[in-house]
Amino acid sequence: MSEIKILNGNAAIAWAVKQINPDVVAAYPITPSTSIVEHIAKYVADGVMTTEFVTPESEHSAMSMCVGASTGGARVFTATASQGLALMFEILYIAASLRLPIVAGIANRSLSAPINIHGDHSDVMAGRDTGWIQIHSENSQEAYDNIIQAFRIGEHKDVSTPVMVTMDGFILSHALQDVVVEEDEKVKNFVGERDPLYTALDVDHPITVGPIDFTDYYFEHKRSQMVGMENAPRVIKEVGEEFKKEFGREYGFIELYKMEDAEIAIVVLGSTAGTTKIVVDELRNKGKKVGLVKMRVYRPFPSREIVDALSNLKAVAILDRAMSPGALGGPLFTDVRSSLYESDKKPILVNYIYGLGGRDIAPKHIEEVYSRLEKIAATGKRGELLSYINLRE
Amino acid sequence: MSYLDYVRQFKLPHYWCPGCGTGVVLQAVVRAFEALGWKQEDLAFITGIGCSGRMSTYVNANTMHTTHGRPLAFATGVKLARPEKHVVVVSGDGDALAIGGNHFIHAARRNIDIKLVIINNLVYGMTGGQVSPTTPQKFRTQTTPYGNIDPNFDVVKLAIAAGATFVGREAVTRPRNLEKLIEKSFQHKGFSVVEVISNCHINLGRKNKMKDQITMLRWISTKTIPKNLAEKKKPEELEGKILLGIFHEDKNRKEYTELYREIQERAGGNK
């Protein structure tokens, strides 16, 4: 039987990892993801997990150990945030290029400087070109569910790509919420065993991993890496459908909230989607045709779904919790805008940067965005492309 | 200048836990500044990440709060650019010896004139008490709930072996001696290392039957012994003891920025 537990996001992720019982976990403490690995350390010490739990001297070493273990055929998990993810960058690329299905739980946190421990998406947005699949969570339940699906997605032979599951630091990682946890056996059966295509520990079939590859074949190898990401949408969909059949909760690439007849909408990812839903409900009660598009899968970017969801709208605001200095707008904005280039009909788009360093975003701020969208829809005049929410200037 | 002038008092109260030894080290450091009469404008004070990292907020000088493990790397850049300035780094056991261990041995190897104080509280305190490279064996931490099996670094031996030219160790239980040792290390020209054994009763002590600062400070007191007293003891009496004092002082080795200036002159620069 599934049961409801009161868990914060970190505990929810650790619970899923406990049930999956990976072969190796190598992780270094960093706020706000620390307690994920503390829970795991305790589960291992108590004999609840049989995982090899390693405490290296830095995140760079943690991810390197994950690569080593995964190359040897192991199922591998790690957790980190912010500067920790930034320190892993060299190895994030290597993990993806070697097609190693490592799963990482990320408690999103801002990047230095100035130092700040609170939640924003700067860390994972910087990782969007590393080749990792990136799945965002609105709440602790989704963080739990996404971890379970992440192993299936990443380890699928057609994908064979690492996956990061993210949640907003502190807002989710440290907030207690009701989480439906499934039966251990059911989770184990759903995830199954990792069956690697190659392993570095097969003495009868020795292989070489990551050797030098110059102008002769490097390009071909990088191109072949794309195949995993190209296959990922099909597998993400299949795994989501199977997950729904098994556990009853539905997951797609994006979630459409009251979008059927919407004329204006916000696109956002992470916990702010939850806040936005409250505002949408309130405005709907007042008869306003507003909706929300919540991004779940950010890499591979679901362009088709975005086009279908947004093409017929009058005005759309894309909310970014990260900056991309010198670009047209935030990372999510440029992806959405680029996707809509394929569409004949295009809504007017505006971009907002919000919540950097954990700056609060309240329903009233989101209401302001919708009220501006209403004006844009009525007048057809956009105004500033990029604005900031709840910022002193 | 009074030692209080080296503290940004508007930033107080500090955010360390009640009874934490880090405040004792801060006081010893600023008192050493006072004793030496260093001007704030001649002083670069650099920290990394961890409980020690916050010190760059409280010290009233040119300060820099850098990334985890890298204060020595940032400080090396500062010292090379402005060799005439006093460059002080306060770091922790996690910052200096785990994630930043590489920078530590190479700063020592070069003998660059940076004054390093390592607050060794034997644990990753800031993140809630995980095992560090100086956690004693058998100690329980958040990541070693049944006891640590990893052998720990001897910071003094490591520093000497890597090439530091001034190496000492003190404990927060002896604040006056600590102040004097830090003052002496600040006067040294070359890479100096002062290891300070400190207490983290909150995130280490609680798991190891030392849940308040008094118990943990008593443990540090019984665990440590000044070098001059130790010389009169038998080897079996010193089993498991941590020695305090100055362990190495080499005034002859050339300092790195001096060597750098010489090579610049030889290459025709700096005319």
Q: pLDDT digit string (tens) for A189-226?
A: 999 999 998 888 888 999 999 999 999 999 999 999 99
Half-sphere exposure of A92 (CA within 13 A, CB side): 24
Ramachandran angles phi, psi of A136, nearest 5°: -100, 150
Quick one: CA dihedral B105, B111, B113, B119, positive or negative? positive
Q: What band does B151 get if pLDDT is binned at 50, 70 and 90?
A: very high
Cβ–Cβ below 8 Å for B128 and A34:
yes
List pLDDT tens digits, range A299-323.
999 999 999 999 999 999 999 999 9
User: What pLDDT is stored for residue A1 in this prediction?
Assistant: 86
Residue B47: closest C-alpha in chain A: A115
Q: Which of A42, A46, A58 is facing B98, going by the closest CB pair?
A: A58
Using an 8 Å CB-CB cutoff, list chain A residues near B53.
115
Q: How far is A73 from chain B (nearest CA, A)?
A: 25
Listed by start position, the domains of chain A span 3-247, 254-388
User: What pLDDT is stored for residue B262 in this prediction?
Assistant: 94
List pLDDT tens digits, range A89-132.
999 999 999 999 999 999 999 999 999 999 999 999 999 999 99
Check residue A20 and give left, alpha or beta (phi > 0: left; psi -120 to 50: alpha): alpha
**Rounded-to-integer distance, Cα B192 and Cα B167, Å:** 6
Half-sphere exposure of B74 (CA within 13 A, CB side): 22
Picking from B99, B141, B146 by the largest number of A CB atoms within 10 A of its own CB, the best residue to mutate is B99
Q: Is the pTM of this model over 0.90?
A: yes
End-to-end CA distance of chain B: 37
Q: Are strands B166-171 and B242-249 parallel, antiparallel or unpaired?
A: antiparallel
Model ipTM value: 0.84
User: What pLDDT is stored for residue B269 in this prediction?
Assistant: 77
Over residues B182-202, the mean pLDDT reads 98
Over residues B223-229, the mean pLDDT reads 97
Q: What band does B3 get if pLDDT is binned at 50, 70 and 90?
A: very high
Residue A40: closest C-alpha in chain B: B143
CATH class, A3-247 region: alpha beta
User: What pLDDT is stored for residue A147 in this prediction?
Assistant: 98
The amino acid sitting at A59 is: E
CA B184 distance to own-chain centroid: 14
Among A163, A158, A162, which Cα is nearest to A224's? A158
- Radius of gyration of chain A, Cα coordinates, nearest whole angstrom: 21
**Rounded-to-integer distance, Cα B48 and Cα B124, Å:** 13
Over residues A57-80, the mean pLDDT reads 97
> Hey, what long-range contacts does A201-204 have (CB within 8 A, 24 or more apart)?
A201/A72, A201/A73, A202/A73
CA A320 distance to own-chain centroid: 14
Over residues A71-92, the mean pLDDT reads 97
Among A30, A97, A217, A258, which Cα is nearest to B143's? A30
Tokens of B41: 């404008």
Q: Given the structure tokens 């589960």, which residue do they identify? A: A43
CATH class, B3-269 region: alpha beta
∠ CA B224-B99-B77, rounded to 5°:
100
A3-247 against A254-388: fold identical: yes
Half-sphere exposure of A235 (CA within 13 A, CB side): 22
**Quick one: chain B helix, strand, coil %, rounded to 5?**
45, 20, 40
**Rounded-to-integer distance, Cα B3 and Cα B6, Å:** 5
Q: Which of B98, B126, B146 is facing A57, going by the closest CB pair?
A: B98
Q: Write the burial class of residue A311 (CB in 10 Å: 0-12 exposed, 13-18 middle, 19+ buried).
A: middle
Half-sphere exposure of B85 (CA within 13 A, CB side): 21
Q: Write the burial class of residue A15 (CB in 10 Å: 0-12 exposed, 13-18 middle, 19+ buried).
A: buried
Picking from B142, B150, B152, B203 by the largest number of A CB atoms within 10 A of its own CB, the best residue to mutate is B142
CB of A160 closer than 8 Å to CB of A103: no
List pLDDT tens digits, range A257-316.
999 999 999 999 999 999 999 999 999 999 999 999 999 999 999 999 999 999 999 999
Q: What band does B271 get if pLDDT is binned at 50, 70 and 90?
A: low
Ramachandran angles phi, psi of B7, nearest 5°: -120, 130
CATH class, A254-388 region: alpha beta
User: What pLDDT is stored for residue A28 in this prediction?
Assistant: 95
Please give the biggest Cα pair distance in chain B: 63
- Tell me if chain A has a CB within 8 Å of the CB of B49: yes
Cβ–Cβ below 8 Å for B127 and A31:
yes
| Cβ under 8 Å to B: A residues 22-61 | 28-31, 34-35, 37-38, 41-42, 45-46, 53, 55, 57-59
pLDDT at B270 > cutoff 80: no
How many CB contacts within 8 angstroms connect chain A with chain B? Answer: 55
End-to-end CA distance of chain A: 53
**Rounded-to-integer distance, Cα A62 and Cα A27, Å:** 5
CB of A252 closer than 8 Å to CB of A237: yes
Q: Given the structure tokens 């914060």, which residue do they identify? A: A8
Residues 6+ positions from B64 with CB-CB distance below 8 Å: B44, B45, B46, B47, B56, B71, B74, B78
Cβ–Cβ below 8 Å for B130 and A42:
no
Tokens of A254: 């994006």
Residues 6+ positions from B181 with CB-CB distance below 8 Å: B168, B170, B194, B245, B246
Cβ–Cβ below 8 Å for A83 and B128:
no
Listed by start position, the domains of chain B span 3-269
Rounded alpha-carbon distances, angstroms, from residue A55 to A37, A105, A270, A300: 10, 16, 29, 31
Cβ–Cβ below 8 Å for B143 and A37:
yes
**Rounded-to-integer distance, Cα A250 and Cα B222, Å:** 60
Cβ–Cβ below 8 Å for A55 and B69:
no
Using an 8 Å CB-CB cutoff, list chain B residues near A41.
142-145
List pLDDT tens digits, range B14-69.
999 999 999 999 999 999 999 999 999 999 999 999 999 999 999 999 999 999 99
User: What pLDDT is stored for residue B221 in this prediction?
Assistant: 98
Rounded alpha-carbon distances, angstroms, from residue A311 to A263, A265, A337, A371, B252: 10, 11, 11, 20, 75
Using an 8 Å CB-CB cutoff, list chain B residues near A42.
145
Packing angle, helices A140-155 and A184-191, rounded to 10: 40
**Rounded-to-integer distance, Cα A363 and Cα A267, Å:** 15
Tokens of B61: 């000088």
Packing angle, helices A303-310 and A331-340, rounded to 10: 70
Cβ–Cβ below 8 Å for B143 and A114:
no
Residues 6+ positions from A328 with CB-CB distance below 8 Å: A334, A337, A351, A385
| Cβ under 8 Å to A: B residues 128-187 | 128, 130-131, 133, 142-146
Cβ–Cβ below 8 Å for B143 and A57:
no
CB of A81 closer than 8 Å to CB of A107: yes
Using an 8 Å CB-CB cutoff, list chain B residues near A114.
65
**Rounded-to-integer distance, Cα A117 and Cα A181, Å:** 29
Over residues A333-355, the mean pLDDT reads 97
List pLDDT tens digits, range B87-142.
999 999 999 999 999 999 999 999 999 999 999 999 999 999 999 999 999 999 99
